[in-house]
């Protein structure tokens, strides 16, 4: 796997609807293995209280962000937690500085976050990532081009009211054209992905281009789902998760208190994913979209390299965006094609194909 893109703080919220993995993960299991990313996708899994969580990322900054989230839950009230991360703006920005000092972070982590204090003290931590800032910028640019703010589409009571406002504020043809420009592989690689854009013609395995794929899914989301409950679209077009209805799984008050009382032992790994998978067996694997950035040769036989001790019933959740490298699904592993499609449709971001593998 290429490592250049996976350095620094790439993700601080990202676009993965964690309820998918949460609902699949078993209660009180021996061990989970998760790719970290922003941490917002992994944190809710701790409410299932596995004995161990092994969390991996090539970027040390992403692991620091997971620890920040975890320590915030363990040491803060629910209201403080939402404010600290940036979901709620109910206190003065300077209060986040004093809250940070309450979290019991290591000196190394404190030094890191103090260095970026000017970026998080006023808005919180969920908008810090390079990925988030890139797509927030694209959302602002689109609204400047169409000379309209899209807030009225989001500020509705139901899908029926949203539909009545859609023609006035949403232009499918203009958005389709816009995506062809900003999701052009050259632009995407130049501005964000540093040559690793999975939607490039020489990398993608989907028949649609990235622009056509995203335009189709966004248009469907705006036409057929209540976007007031979609944090991903709000992040892009409102530049913040504005409505409580859109809060992702990490904001669930019920999960917050379960995580606070969880006794899971956490192990951090900053090394190659495929090497880690060979070392230890787990009951549940959440691999995010890491395979989108790998070649067929890297992943084709990953299942046969897993330890024999992986228990019957263990599940592996793989997301892929635009690029789905081929890997052999051999007995005792199976996948349910219809379930994969159902999960892709249920995910509020609609950006991923799913491969959910189960050991029988």
Please check whether residue 159 lies inside any domain of the structure.
Answer: yes
The enclosing domain of 273 has a CATH number of 3.40.50.150
Tell me: do 239 and 142 sit in the same domain. yes
Distance CA 270, CA 286 (A): 16
Tell me: do 200 and 281 sit in the same domain. no
**Residue 126 contacts residue 5 (beta carbons within 8 Å):** no
- Number of domains within the chain: 2
Q: Is the pLDDT of residue 1 over 60?
A: no
Q: What is the pLDDT of residue 290?
A: 94
The DSSP bridge partners found for residue 359 are 333
Tell me: do 234 and 316 sit in the same domain. no
Can you give the pTM of this predicted structure? 0.93
Please check whether residue 101 lies inside any domain of the structure.
Answer: no
Please check whether residue 172 lies inside any domain of the structure.
Answer: yes
Confidence of residue 266 (pLDDT cuts 50, 70, 90): very high
Tell me: do 239 and 255 sit in the same domain. no
Q: Is the pLDDT of residue 2 over 80?
A: no
Tell me: do 267 and 233 sit in the same domain. no
Residues 6 or more apart whose CB falls under 8 angstroms from that of 115 comprise none
Q: Which domain holds residue 37?
A: 19-58+249-359
Note the pLDDT tens digit of each residue in 192-206: 777 777 788 888 888
Please check whether residue 327 lies inside any domain of the structure.
Answer: yes
Q: Among 203, 229, 246, identify where a domain stops.
A: 246
Please name the residue that has the structure tokens 């915030």: 72
Tell me: do 288 and 318 sit in the same domain. yes
Tell me: do 202 and 257 sit in the same domain. no
Tell me: do 233 and 253 sit in the same domain. no
CA 291 to the chain's CA centroid: 14
Q: Among 246, 281, 308, identify where a domain stops.
A: 246
Residue scoring higher pLDDT (2 or 285): 285
Tell me: do 292 and 220 sit in the same domain. no
Q: Using the 8-state DSSP alphabet, how is residue 59 labeled? A: -
Please check whether residue 196 lies inside any domain of the structure.
Answer: yes
Please check whether residue 71 lies inside any domain of the structure.
Answer: no
Tell me: do 237 and 337 sit in the same domain. no
Note the pLDDT tens digit of each residue in 297-306: 999 999 999 9
Please check whether residue 4 lies inside any domain of the structure.
Answer: no
Q: Among 246, 273, 299, identify where a domain stops.
A: 246
């Amino acid at each position: 796997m290429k490592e250049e893109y996976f350095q620094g703080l790439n993700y601080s919220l990202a676009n993965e609807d964690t309820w998918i993995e949460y609902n699949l993960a078993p209660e009180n299991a021996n061990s989970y293995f998760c790719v970290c990313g922003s941490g917002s996708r992994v944190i809710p899994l701790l409410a299932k209280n596995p004995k161990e969580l092994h969390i991996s990322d090539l970027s040390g900054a992403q692991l620091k962000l997971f620890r920040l989230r975890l320590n915030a839950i363990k040491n803060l009230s629910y209201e403080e937690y939402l404010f600290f991360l940036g979901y709620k703006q109910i206190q003065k920005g300077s209060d986040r500085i004093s809250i940070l000092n309450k979290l019991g972070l290591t000196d190394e982590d404190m030094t890191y976050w103090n260095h970026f204090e000017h970026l998080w003290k006023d808005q919180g931590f969920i908008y810090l990532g390079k990925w988030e800032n890139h797509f927030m910028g694209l959302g602002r640019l689109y609204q400047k081009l169409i000379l309209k703010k899209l807030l009225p589409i989001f500020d509705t009571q139901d899908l029926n009211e949203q539909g009545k406002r859609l023609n006035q504020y949403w232009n499918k043809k203009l958005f389709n054209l816009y995506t062809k420009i900003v999701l052009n592989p050259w632009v995407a690689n130049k501005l964000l992905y540093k040559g690793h854009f999975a939607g490039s013609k020489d990398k993608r395995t989907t028949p649609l281009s990235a622009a056509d794929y995203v335009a189709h899914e966004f248009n469907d989301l705006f036409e057929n789902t209540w976007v007031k409950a979609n944090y991903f679209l709000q992040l892009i077009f409102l530049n913040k998760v504005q409505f409580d209805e859109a809060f992702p799984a990490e904001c669930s008050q019920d999960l917050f208190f379960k995580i606070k009382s969880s006794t899971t032992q956490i192990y951090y790994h900053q090394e190659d994913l495929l090497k880690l998978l060979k070392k230890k067996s787990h009951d549940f694997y959440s691999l995010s979209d890491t395979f989108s950035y790998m070649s067929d040769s890297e992943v084709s036989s990953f299942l046969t390299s897993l330890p024999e001790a992986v228990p019957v019933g263990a599940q592996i959740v793989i997301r892929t965006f635009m690029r789905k490298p081929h890997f052999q699904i051999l007995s005792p592993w199976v996948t349910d094609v219809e379930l994969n499609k159902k999960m892709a449709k249920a995910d509020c971001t609609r950006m991923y194909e799913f491969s959910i593998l189960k050991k029988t």
